[in-house]
Structure 1
Amino acid sequence: MLQGTGSDVGKSVLTAALCRIARRQGLSVAPFKPQNMSNNAAACPGGGEIGRAQALQARAAGLELHTDMNPVLLKPQTDRASQLVVHGKALRAMEAADYMASRDQLMGAVMESFDRLAEKHDLIIVEGAGSPAETNLRARDIANMGFARRAGVPVCLIGDIEKGGVIASLVGTRTVIDRKDAAMIRAFLVNKFRGDPSLFEDGVREIERRTKWPSLGVIPWLPATAKLPAEDAVVLGTPSTQSGKTLKIAAPMFSRMANFDDADPLKLEPGVEFEWTRPGQPIPRDADVVILFGTKSTLGELAFMRAQGWDHDILAHARAGGRVLGICGGYQMLGQSITDPHGVDGEPGEALGLGLLDVETTMTRHKDVRPVSNAQTFIGSTTSGYVIHVGRTNGPDTDRPFATLEGERDGARNGNGRVMGTYFHGAFANNEFRRDWLEHVGHSGRSTLDYDAAVDGALDDLADGVEASVDVEALLNLAEPVGWRRDKT
């Protein structure tokens, strides 16, 4: 199990790297994250959703997605409430309350999934969440030491030197956690080092002396990570750096943005400048296309959008002939109105949308979660991806759909075709559709990007970088047989 001294220390990408390394060694390996908090989700075959980080890790392992890889998923809707997803299914408020009232009930769901995976695979690489040093959360923890102790899974602790204070974070974790929790940690890694690793040898020895844990490596900052789908909104500020740009795409950075990795293929596209607009900043006037990505709380995001003044920017952009695309929640915001009588997507209520599409949305209790293949788009090319949303959208503009998914019309386009919306995620990962869409919205060059190959190449480069800097044999040898020392308390 990889745990970290905090969030965003590299647990997700290192788990992916180890999955790819183990796969290359001929092992049947699977990723596992007991509990994830993210609005970035992936649809599994047969239905159900998991965090997109686990989807990337499954790809590294060469596996089809399965809800057992992330049995508990929390999707923040407001500052104080999250949707609870267990075994891929979004629970209603009463069901969620029953689960949250009992740590054992959630832990039971976690252990069911873990045991099923362990029966099928040679090796499980487990990713923790946040930090085990959050001792105020320890009594109800199922994501870090609560799981490690219950399942008997040895831990390697990761510290992020790029943030500064890596000695204090590793040694401090050893100091504040329970003695039995500390005994689960068998080694540590230092991640994201820039420069000559030999310059940190004294630091490594200091950590080893104070913690009594051995170091298994100092991992450099690996450029391949920039080509992988981002898990957290915290890293979205990095702008596209492609040269020779001919098309500018801007996207407002919403407060509860979901499935924003829809942007990743566009960010890698030669000849495209992709820019996130941060809160408090105007959407660039020279943007050719504005994309509104998905969100976990459409009504809340509408209010957030208006507080930034982005509604005026988007309307002015559309009036000037600019193109606008809304995906999922972004599609809903482009319509005339959104109504959520039951509060299934946040607080109950209703609001006027931007009015750029003649459609109306009503939130429903049913959540549509499924992968989709061979969708026929309005351009003529086909693509594959997934849908994951609540709500039904109807109105005259749906007579001009964005795509046909398994015989059903999806999305809408306005009369001049410059404003469009869709519930379809993942479409841009398809090379043919992405090239056709870019040409449709004004890109002057023909794309040569093979996105799937780029992601697989980045995973291989990431694995190579980890192998070169980590004692992988010693790390994988930390693994113990499932159930070797389970803690029933």
Structure 2
Amino acid sequence: MAERRPTPALMLLGTGSNVGKSLLVAGLCRLFADRGLKVRPFKPQNMSNNAAATAFGEIGRAQALQARAARVAPHVDMNPVLLKPESDTGSQIILQGRVAGHLASGDFTRRGDFLPQVLESFERLSDEADLVLVEGAGSPAETNLRARDIANLGFARAANVPAILVGDIDRGGVIASLVGSHAVLDEADRAMIRAFAINRFRGEVSLFKAGVDTIAQATGWPCLGVVPWFNEAIHLPAEDGLDLAAGPPKPGAKLKVAVPVMPGIANFDDLDPLKQEDAVELVMIRRGTALPGDAGLIILPGSKTTMRDLAVLRTEGWDIDIAAHRRRGGHVLGLCGGYQILGRVVRDPLGLEGTAGEAPGLGLLDIETVLEPGKTVREVAFEHPASGATGRAYEIHLGRSEGPDTARAPFRIGTRQDGAASPDGRVAGTYLHGMFTSDAVRRACMAQIAGGALESTLDYEAGVEAVLDRLAAHLERHLDIAAILALAHARSV
């Protein structure tokens, strides 16, 4: 019986975080899917509080977008290890979609214990694929983390997957970062990297030819292309907090939406559709800045650490700003952790988010929240009863919220009510994430807040698909796609 050849696979590493690896993988997934290949995205280990719900648990938001680009449903095997930061010194571990404990930052060597599950997920994905595109995390040149690495070359060597190294020229120092990475890697790790690429170039590409030659001569790696800046990336869901930004100023906007950025902010891509609405100006308020008095709506976004973010909100004086906003007749919306913060009290008797205890909430909703074991992770179809609009969303949360204001729940999931609202309807909260991706729901909610219909021609989902198509075409123009496929197929037993 002939021995089965390994599935073609290629890993995209970066010289650092946020160099555009996620976007490159998404674009290549769409490109190869449109060529008729069964392509699957894979990221061994991710660190992000922007998660997506799948049928079997949660994964990083970037892998969900990459699955969409590949025209397949997201699956927990696409991101078997997800670390969700809970503080500066520790993270919750999501292992193959499910909570599997806590990882202290000083205990990074434990990450190597997850390699069997990482390889198991990779093999399952490979069995159903023609091509697997693997995304690294951070930089493979962090030699202090190499001994137990499962995110970069530790995985590449264990799974025998060739890699290319991507440098971000926009941040500067791209020659040094690529050549320096080559210099600090040991010989066996260096041998896994077969080529390099330059991302986010602005200007005339030919002007960087001497730079490309310098890198190629110093490393021995060929260049697979110089990819110009892709402006439309802002229309795709972002995963990294480094990408968290407001929309552009909109002097003619009918509704200003203010969002306080708290340390544990999670699932902030909930805001992306609002950012793209012409009639809505979205402003992200950083610590040390008051909430604007002219906002029509304040959104408290999702939080991985509700109790800590509640304390920060008070330290910043944002609770006072929100109370003043409420007295002026403004609207407030809480999403997931933000919903919990709006209630009378948040209790964490088992210390699921840190130290056990409780704290008074803002008291703008007559509810109480108790954090309990057993995380809710599910995709749902829902309805906005006030308008009859429907959509699809997802839940990722700990705890339950109960109280009189839940009798005015703003949403319904089947026969179950979700969320709560104040008697005058100006304060509301929900456990739903992603509800604004529904054009009908988003328009109904914004019209209710603005006191009348807002002009909107935004088809959010169609827009994401169109941008993915244009991203694929962009990469096809600027990368050596034949060489990329050849490297993937060169993977040996």
Q: Same fold (TM over 0.5)?
A: yes
More off after superposition, 390-399 vs 370-379: 370-379
Residue 383 (1) aligns with residue 391 (2): yes
| Alignment map for 1:456-475 (pairs within 5 Å) | 456-475=465-484
Tell me the equivalent position of 1:43: 53
Tell me the equivalent position of 2:85: 76
* Counterpart-to-counterpart distance in 1, 2:171 and 2:462: 31
* Counterpart-to-counterpart distance in 1, 2:223 and 2:371: 51
* Counterpart-to-counterpart distance in 2, 1:38 and 1:17: 21
| Alignment map for 1:156-235 (pairs within 5 Å) | 156-235=164-243
SS at match of 2:373: strand
Q: 2:97 pairs with 81, 84, 88, which one?
A: 88
* Counterpart-to-counterpart distance in 1, 2:385 and 2:221: 55
* Counterpart-to-counterpart distance in 2, 1:349 and 1:369: 24
CA contact (8 A) 2:246 2:282 kept: no
Please identify runs of 4+ aligned residues in structure 1 that moved more than 4 A. 99-104
Tell me the equivalent position of 1:445: 454
More off after superposition, 403-412 vs 167-176: 403-412
State the TM-score, normalized to the length of structure 1.
0.95
Q: 2:31 pairs with 2, 21, 46, which one?
A: 21
- Listed as ranges, the gaps of 5+ residues in structure 1 are none
* Counterpart-to-counterpart distance in 2, 1:330 and 1:412: 12
Tell me the equivalent position of 1:274: 282
Deviation of the 1:459 alpha carbon: 0.7
> For each residue in 1:37-87, what CA deviation from the matched residue of structure 2 results, as whole angstroms up to 9, or x when unmatched?
000001102x30000000000000000111000000000111111110001
CA contact (8 A) 1:387 1:424 kept: yes
Q: 2:40 pairs with 16, 30, 34, which one?
A: 30
| Alignment map for 1:400-415 (pairs within 5 Å) | 400-415=408-423
Cα distance change of structure 1 residues 108 and 223 upon mapping to structure 2, 3 Å threshold = same
Aligned residues: 481
SS at match of 2:113: helix
Deviation of the 1:238 alpha carbon: 4.2
Code of the aligned partner of 1:5: T
* Counterpart-to-counterpart distance in 1, 2:24 and 2:481: 11
* Counterpart-to-counterpart distance in 2, 1:124 and 1:406: 37
* Counterpart-to-counterpart distance in 2, 1:220 and 1:110: 33
Deviation of the 1:246 alpha carbon: 1.1
CA contact (8 A) 2:22 2:62 kept: yes
Code of the aligned partner of 2:228: P
Deviation of the 1:353 alpha carbon: 0.6
Tell me the equivalent position of 2:6: none
Tell me the equivalent position of 2:3: none
* Counterpart-to-counterpart distance in 2, 1:479 and 1:275: 43
Tell me the equivalent position of 2:75: 66
| Alignment map for 1:70-469 (pairs within 5 Å) | 70-93=79-102, 102-103=110-111, 105-242=113-250, 244-442=252-450, 444-469=453-478
Deviation of the 1:244 alpha carbon: 3.1
State the TM-score, normalized to the length of structure 2.
0.95
SS at match of 1:264: helix
Cα distance change of structure 1 residues 377 and 123 upon mapping to structure 2, 3 Å threshold = farther
More off after superposition, 472-481 vs 295-304: 472-481
> For each residue in 1:411-459, what CA deviation from the matched residue of structure 2 results, as whole angstroms up to 9, or x when unmatched?
0000100000000011100111111111111164331110001101111
> For each residue in 1:168-204, what CA deviation from the matched residue of structure 2 results, as whole angstroms up to 9, or x when unmatched?
0000000011111110001111111110011111000
Code of the aligned partner of 1:449: L
CA contact (8 A) 1:429 1:451 kept: yes
Code of the aligned partner of 2:79: N
Of all paired residues, the percent bearing the same amino acid is: 53
Tell me the equivalent position of 1:57: 66
* Counterpart-to-counterpart distance in 2, 1:104 and 1:287: 47
CA contact (8 A) 1:363 1:391 kept: yes
CA contact (8 A) 2:348 2:371 kept: yes
* Counterpart-to-counterpart distance in 2, 1:435 and 1:90: 35
Cα distance change of structure 1 residues 426 and 107 upon mapping to structure 2, 3 Å threshold = same
* Counterpart-to-counterpart distance in 1, 2:250 and 2:63: 28
CA contact (8 A) 2:382 2:391 kept: yes
Deviation of the 1:481 alpha carbon: 6.5
CA contact (8 A) 1:18 1:463 kept: yes
> For each residue in 1:388-429, what CA deviation from the matched residue of structure 2 results, as whole angstroms up to 9, or x when unmatched?
000110111011112111322110000100000000011100
> For each residue in 1:277-308, what CA deviation from the matched residue of structure 2 results, as whole angstroms up to 9, or x when unmatched?
11111111110100010010000101111122
Cα distance change of structure 1 residues 454 and 344 upon mapping to structure 2, 3 Å threshold = same
Cα distance change of structure 1 residues 374 and 330 upon mapping to structure 2, 3 Å threshold = closer
CA contact (8 A) 2:91 2:102 kept: no
- Listed as ranges, the gaps of 5+ residues in structure 2 are 1-10
* Counterpart-to-counterpart distance in 2, 1:79 and 1:347: 15
> For each residue in 1:307-337, what CA deviation from the matched residue of structure 2 results, as whole angstroms up to 9, or x when unmatched?
2211111111111100000000000000011
> For each residue in 1:66-109, what CA deviation from the matched residue of structure 2 results, as whole angstroms up to 9, or x when unmatched?
10000000001111111100010012459x99x97755530000
RMSD: 1.7
More off after superposition, 396-405 vs 116-125: 396-405
Q: 1:9 pairs with 16, 19, 22, which one?
A: 19
* Counterpart-to-counterpart distance in 2, 1:101 and 1:181: 19
SS at match of 1:370: strand
* Counterpart-to-counterpart distance in 1, 2:229 and 2:100: 39
* Counterpart-to-counterpart distance in 1, 2:141 and 2:179: 11
More off after superposition, 225-234 vs 4-13: 225-234
